[in-house]
Amino acid sequence: MLNKYARAFFTRVLTPFAAFLIRRGVSPDTVTLIGTAGVVAGALVFYPRGEFFWGTVVITLFVFSDLVDGNMARQLGRSSRWGAFLDSTLDRVADGAIFGGFALWYAGSGNDNVLCAVSIFCLASGQVVSYTKARGESIGLPVAVNGLVERAERLVVSLVAAGFAGLHKFGVPGIQYLLPVALWIVAVGSLVTLVQRVVTVRRESAEAEAAADREARGSEAAK
């Protein structure tokens, strides 16, 4: 849902900014690299110190690069396999930094091994969820399932919760518990999504093999 509606909305909003960068001679790949560097810096500099509000502010400023670079490529009319590969690869780096930052906090000053483990699970499951779709498509399957919690949902739930949880340092009581709740939601949702994709690939694989068998038998009968 977020991929479909929020992405379309922000693409329209960010189109003028993308056009401005093009006029300045900035390439889409440069935006991708700078955006990822900003997200990684925000996550690994602020989150391990428990500065969730400011870390989220920095990450949010840079995370929209994921929409800007694609918008620029479309305006330039030169979308490429390399650009898609770079964008997808650096998305995984950014996601790893965000959940890695949470894990470092809970392993250190946050002093909660369970939430550290949950953060690591969110990191790993997010990577595997993305891999299942990419691997399924690479062997010729459509992987026609949206899934309960995809990348957009993981980021929005985690970052919104982290940002609000950071307000605890400004004197807002009890709000720090939003982040643990969000991490559990993302962990469970990612697990459900992983199962959905594995089941889908298994079904599509069986259907493809059955269709191939029928075609082979038809070819033999025609002879």
Cα separation, 154 vs 189, in Å, equals 9
Is 200 known to sit in a ligand binding site? no
Is 38 known to sit in a ligand binding site? no
Is 95 known to sit in a ligand binding site? no
Q: Residue 103 belongs to what H/E stretch?
A: helix 81-107
Give catalytic residue positions: 91
Cα separation, 213 vs 201, in Å, equals 18
Task: Report which DSSP code applies to 80.
Answer: -
Is 112 known to sit in a ligand binding site? no
Report residue 159 as tokens.
């970052």
Is 30 known to sit in a ligand binding site? yes
Is 70 known to sit in a ligand binding site? yes
Is 31 known to sit in a ligand binding site? yes
Is 135 known to sit in a ligand binding site? no
Is 91 known to sit in a ligand binding site? yes
Contact by Cβ (8 Å): 72, 81: no
Q: How many CB atoms lie within 10 A of CB 18?
A: 23
Residue 138, CB half-sphere, CA atoms under 13 Å: how many? 6
Please name the residues in contact with 204: beta carbons below 8 A apart, sequence gap of 6 or more: 136, 141, 142, 143, 144
- Identify the sign of the CA torsion 33, 13, 182, 192: negative
Cα separation, 179 vs 158, in Å, equals 7
Per the annotation, binding residues are: 29-32, 66, 69-70, 74, 80, 87, 91
Per the annotation, binding residues for a CDP-1,2-diacyl-sn-glycerol are: 29-32, 70, 74, 80
Per the annotation, binding residues for Mg(2+) are: 66, 69, 87, 91
